[in-house]
Amino acid sequence: MCGIAGIIYRGHTSTQGRSGDVGRDMTRMLQAMRHRGPDSTGYALYGEPSDLLVMRFKLADPTDHRDFDFSERLERNRREVEARLAKLGAAIDRVQGESEYAYRATFRYSGELKPLADYVEDVPGAEILSLGNSLEIVKDLGSAETVARQYRLDGFRGTHAIGHVRMATESDVDIAGAHPYWAYPFSDVAVVHNGQLTNYHHWRRRLERLGHRFQSECDSEIIAVYIAQRMADGLSLETAMKQSLDDLDGVFTYLVVTESQLGVAKDEMAAKPLVLYEADDMVALASEEIAIRAVVNREIDTYDPYEREVLVWSR
């Protein structure tokens, strides 16, 4: 089933958007939809943009076997990631552990992202969850409250976010199978998806031939990589999303976020739900209105976008 949610704050006067307690708000929205997906929860949060790059990565999975040298190996691999960042000319600001196996690194780097990401992911067990100037992806097993507590997301302030609660149907219950997916190697682009894609293998082979990497067997990862490829071809986010309606088969409602935008696309049968609330101070959307009401506690006007609709908002 899965539940998806998105929120983008809008200022009354400024066109720059405004910050809010986006970690807390997204947790409330996702927790209200816990019945749609109890397996894992994920966040793509946008903090205040800075000139530092922020990279979220993991070196193991919560379900991995804890052998005798588990923590030593993690420590060794973390140092290896730092060494490789330094070797490519990144000036590391700090690297901190966010959980037993997930980390957040900030650094200065002006080169291309793909060689850096490829080099880091070559470290055993390493997967980059997100990389960008403001995007931070956090995902783990359990409910929104569990993940928010583990990663201390209540204090996260930012401009917009998307989130996902997952009921695994076609692939494993692990962090690699959890949403959101970063559009590797594009800075600050992430996707969450509710549905099933029926031409997954077709697109996976196509995109792999173009040099893209896949971390999971999850069909939703296709959307992130597809959008990344289309943007590499020079398309705008909105045009790429419109093209996806013809290229992707199956049933889907998906959300995409960039450093400044939040977009939604629905398949031609409108098979998967989405409720939209648009106000002067925010746009909130979710699989169920109950999630929106978790952050706007009053009677509101909402509507369901129709089939083949693509909508994009800027902060």
Partner 1 sequence: MTQPSVRVDQRGLAEPDATAPKTATITGETAELDAAELSTRLINLELRWLLHTEGVTEVVVRNPGARHSIAVGLLTRCRIRIDGSLGYFGCGLIDGPEIHITGRVGWSVAENMMSGVVVIDKNAGSLTGAALRGGDLVVRGHVGARTGIDQKGGTIIVGGNTGSMTGFMMQRGRQIICGDAGQGLGDSMYDGAIYVGGAVASLGVDCVEAEMTPADDELIDRKFRIYGMQRPERFRKFVCGKKLWNYDNLEPSERKLVL
Using rule CB under 8 A, residue 15 touches partner 1? no
- The residue among 53 and 292 lying less far from partner 1, judged by its C-beta, is 292
Q: Which one of 2, 32, 148, 161 is the catalytic residue?
A: 2
Minimum CB separation of residue 190 from partner 1 in Å reads 26
218 is a catalytic site residue: no
Phi, psi of 129 (to 5 degrees): -85, -35
CA pair distance 123, 250, nearest whole angstrom: 35
Using CB under 8 A, which of 150, 302, 311, 313 touches partner 1? Answer: 302
Using CB under 8 A, which of 218, 289, 310, 315 touches partner 1? Answer: 289
**Cα-only R_g, the chain:** 18
Nearest to 106 by CA among 52, 47, 49: 52
18-37: which residues touch partner 1 (CB under 8 A)? 28, 32
- The residue among 32 and 53 lying less far from partner 1, judged by its C-beta, is 32
* Count of residues interacting with partner 1 (CB under 8 A): 23
Minimum CB separation of residue 179 from partner 1 in Å reads 22
Using CB under 8 A, which of 184, 288, 310, 315 touches partner 1? Answer: 288
Using CB under 8 A, which of 175, 231, 304, 315 touches partner 1? Answer: 304
Minimum CB separation of residue 153 from partner 1 in Å reads 17
Sign, CA torsion 175/180/181/187: negative
Minimum CB separation of residue 270 from partner 1 in Å reads 4
- Other CB atoms within 10 Å distance of the CB of residue 169: 11
Q: DSSP string of 245-313? A: HHH--EEEEEEEE-SSEEEEEE-TT--S--EEEE-SSEEEEESSHHHHHTTS-S----B---TT-EEEE
**E strand or H helix at 76, and its extent?**
helix 70-87
Catalytic residues, by residue number, are 2
Residues of the shown chain interacting with partner 1 in the complex, contacts defined by CB under 8 A = 28, 32, 268-271, 273, 275, 288-290, 292-294, 297, 299-304, 306-307
